[in-house]
Every structure is written in C-alpha cells, then in structure tokens.
Chains A and B, each alone.
Chain A
Amino acid sequence: MSTEHTRLLLSGNHAVSYAVKLARPNVMPVYPITPQTPILEKITEFHAGGEMTGEIMTMESEHSVMAAAITASLTGVRVFTATASQGLLLMHEMLHYAAGARAPIVMANVNRTLGSPWGFWPDQTDSLAQRDVGWIQYYCENGQESHDTTLQAFRVAEQVLLPVMVVHEAFYVSHAMEAVDIVSQQQVDAYLPPFNPPHRLDPQIGESWGNTVSQTMFQNHRRDMGEAMERVLEVGKQADRELQELVGRGYGILEQYRCEGAEFIIATMGSMTGTVRDVVDELRAAGVSIGLLKIRLFRPFPVADLREALVGVPKVMVLDRNFAPGTGGVLFQELKAALYGLAGAPEIHGYLAGVGGTNISPSAIKEMVQCAMGENPSVNSVWKG
C-alpha cells in the first residue's frame, strides 16, 4: 500500500469509477444508460479483473436497481450505483423510498436532457427535478472533483444515514478526459472506515423496516430526516476538510472565487463554473469587480452560507442550465427564496443559459454580465444562449 499519488488521464465517468473501487462497496446493482454507462462498465471491468470484490447485480430496469440498492443497503453494507436522465426518472418512486428508509446509498447521476424530444446533451433538469426526494446532492465541475466528491459522499451518507447523489454533466465532464489524481487506497481506508450502522436487516437480529405507522410517527420520521439533512451542512464541510488534510484538495460546500469586494457575482453549478472562472479572471484584469459563487452542495441548500456570501453584494447573476416550465431556472428560484428578507440582499438576475446543452462561451457570459449590469432584474428567468 502506497500513499504516493497516481495521476491518470481519465474521463469524469472513470474518475468516479476509480473512487468507487477505492471505497470498497459491497453491492452494486447496475443498469446501463448513456452517458453514464462508462462508470458501471469500468466498475465491472475492475470486478472482472479481480481488483474489486463485492457483488454486482445486473437488473432489468433502473427502478429495480434502486429497489435492490435500498434492500442491500438496509442489511448494513455499502452500496453504489449510477444512472442518468430517463433512468433517474424511472427510479423516482424508489428515490423517495431510499431516503425514507434512511439507506445511505451513493449514486452518480450524469446530467442529460429528458425526453421528449430525445437528446444526449448536458442539462441539469433530471437531477434538479429530484430536489424534494430527500437525497443529498453535490454538483461537480470536473473529473477530479467527481472523484473526490464520490469519496466524500460515502462518508457523509453513512454519517447522517441519507442517500447521496453525486452529479456531473454529460460530455463536458462525463466524457471529458483530463488529469485526475487518484487518492491512494491507504488514504481512502483511513478516511472511510467500513460501514457499520446501528440498525440493519439481519435474520439473526430480528428488526423490521418500513412498517405501517401512525400519522404522528410518520411526521416524526420526516422531522428526523429534516434534522439529518440539517446536519449535512456541518458533516459535509468536515468530510471536505478531512479529505483535504489527506490529499490537499478541498472544495467547500460553496466556493467563493475572487469574490473579495465583488460588486457583481455570477452564481452557477457544475461544468459552467469552469468557463466562468476564465471570464472572472479576464474581467478582473480589466478592472471589473466581479466574482464567482459556485454552489457545490445543492441539497441541503446551504441557505445560511449563501446569505453570508451574498449580503451586501449589489448584483448577482444566476446561470441555470436547467428549465422548469412555469417557474424557470431552479437555482434562480432557490436562491431568491434563500435570500428572502435579508437586509442588504442583492438584485438577482436569472438567466437560462445552456439549457439542452447549448454551448455557453466566455464571450456569451461576458455579454450576459454586461446585460445584467445595465438592466433591472426580471422576476422571471430570462432566456439567453
């Protein structure tokens, strides 16, 4: 066992697979779907080559995958799976169940447009449409972050007993190959002790799960879930800090990039944050007081941290690569709600940019900045790009 780091040229999907191998899950129910399939292909390759133990279960649908993941998880073992788009939607019923059953499953979701019409493009609507199911959600900017976040996800899930979705976008991250530093097995073993929950389904113990309950019991159970979600804000920061101490890379649950004294902040999630960084650097060099607020942890939504980050900032521009017809961009809605009643709250401009995977170039972002600087914000999301 070595602590030397290994740097590989990997796609974002394979960066996740390597992290899963290191986390030593016991059960992995699988079902393929573009553009997620390389994650599970690589895992089955590791398994076939003897580099991974644990059980791989090939299921007949994503719904069955999640049903298998829940039941396996409740026996007290570590469980991983991955999906995308339509597959995630087919799981929807079981996503609620997984959270309610307090099954700390870790699942990667690769953002892809939802039919109809058919497409394969990066668009975050699939996972954002699951925002109320009780899963923790992380949005990753690149393969390195997806690798590190997958490890953090097991830590957080097992500490609070809630499932975690690690999300990255089709193509721009899933199929983008770049250098990824792989955490060593020794470091991961120190970071992720074997999962040993206080309760488990075991014929030798005799506990049951998911019985019919009274109204009050149901309500108390939901309150417990809410409290567990609240704990994620601290547990997530700690999981990030501790991995950073081991490997030197940390992300925070939010990232404020060049926000010192910024009069204009661009808020976004996922792969677009990378492009925005270049824009911020360019505009800062030209004397514009601008920064980036990257939302990495979307569920629970880090309201207190966001209020602290944005209080006193005159203008915020939200870039949403997703669309909820009838309400607009999801991040725009959530951010407005999070800042409600805050004295010194910024004006918020909500732009739909990159919906359906349309290309968002640095020059397009600069035009949007210019536009937001010169106009009053609209209450609704505005189509751009």
Chain B
Amino acid sequence: MLQFIIQGRGGQGAQLAGKLLADVFFQEGRYVLVYASYGGARRGNPVSSSLRVDDKPIRLRCDIEHPDAIVCFDPSLLEGGKLLNAATGQTLVLINSSLPAKEFAHLGDFKVVTIDARTIAQKHQLGRIVNTTLVGASLGLLGYSNVELLEKVVGETSPLKPEGNVAACMEGYRIARKGSC
C-alpha cells in the first residue's frame, strides 16, 4: 500500500491535490481511498488529505500511521505542527519552498526534498495555486511513469486554466525526475 498525507492551508488546494492523485491511480485501475479532514473549512486553517493506494480494496478508515510521502504546501505548517509526527526515516517529505532541503535538516531524519512550486505556478499564470506542481513533483519523486495519464487527468479535472495546470504539473514532475528539486 502506498500512503500519502497532503497538508496545506484552507484555499491552497491540498484537498484537491489528494483528489487529483487519487484520480490518477483510480484511472490506472488501482484501489484508492482518499479523505480530507478539517475543523471547519476556513481559509488559512490547516487542511489535510489522506490517500491510500493499493492493489486490493482498502478497508482501513483511520489516520495514516506511516506515510510513504508527506506533501507540505507551506513550511509554516512544519513548525510546531503535527504534520511530521507520522514521518519515519523512510518518509519522503516534499516541501513547497524556495530554500534548499538542507535548511529543513533540523526537522529530523527524513528524506526532505524542496521545490519552489510558487515560482513554477506563477510562471504558468496560476498565482498561488501550487497543488498541480506539487502533485507532479511528488509523483516524479516516487518514480511514477504514466505521464500521458497524469496530463489527461490534470487537464480534465482542473476547475480553471487546464493548460497552465498541466504545464506546471509536468514541470514539477520533470524537475523531480531529474533530481533537481
């Protein structure tokens, strides 16, 4: 089973990122279960999405204990937050930040990777909507290979600016694949 925790602040699209990842794996014929939880959907509040992907039906209805990947939309969520409580030495922690990964070494012994998703999103006229870039980067880091499907799903599910979202997603994906995060 592949397990993701995605966290952002209300309005950043973390919930939609979970849904988008789920849709990609679902369309590949895998079993998925994704749910978001929030304490009242307010802009700025932490919003988490939990995604499980497996080759058999998923029955667990509880928090993810040992995620394979944590996607963090905003570094301010890391300080004093609970996001990294579930991380282990094996967990990939992808952070949206212009700073290099070594700046986050103090957080603990995780596989930290950063990507400047804000700059990529702005380049593609997406403003502060970084979710598609982070989805592309996380799949790239996990070695995902069905690029055509990823492009199709992002294009079909983007509520606005499908072309910009596809371009940002693929840029995130390529950077991650090249190991240049």
Contacts and interface: CB of A to CB of B under 8 A. Distances in A.
Interface of A: 9, 34, 119-120, 141-142, 171-173, 175-179, 271-272, 274-275, 277-278, 359-363
A171 B63 CA distance: 11
A335 B134 CA distance: 49
Given A9-B23, A120-B39, A361-B65, A176 B33 contact: yes
A45 B63 CA distance: 31
11 contacts: A9-B32, A34-B40, A119-B39, A120-B38, A175-B36, A177-B34, A178-B32, A178-B33, A179-B32, A275-B60, A277-B59
A272 B61 contact: yes
B160 interface: no
A171 B40 CA distance: 12
A111 B83 CA distance: 26
Interface string B27-47: 000011111111111000000
Given A178-B31, A178-B32, A171 B23 contact: no
Nearest to A359: B63
A371 B37 CA distance: 30
Interface of B: 19, 22-23, 26, 31-41, 58-63, 65
Contacts of A120: 38-40
Contacts of B60: 274-275, 278, 362
Nearest to A274: B59
Residue picked from B32, B40, B60, most chain A C-beta under 10 Å: B60
Contact of A176 (B35, B40, B41, B65): B35
Given A9-B26, A179-B26, A362 B62 contact: yes
Contact of A274 (B19, B36, B39, B61): B61
Contacts of B26: 9, 179
Contacts of A361: 62-63, 65
A359 B32 contact: no
* Most chain A CB within a 10 A radius of its CB, from B37, B59, B61, B63: B61
A175 B35 contact: yes
A362 B65 CA distance: 10
Contacts of B32: 9, 177-179
A274 to B, nearest CB: 4
A58 B140 CA distance: 46
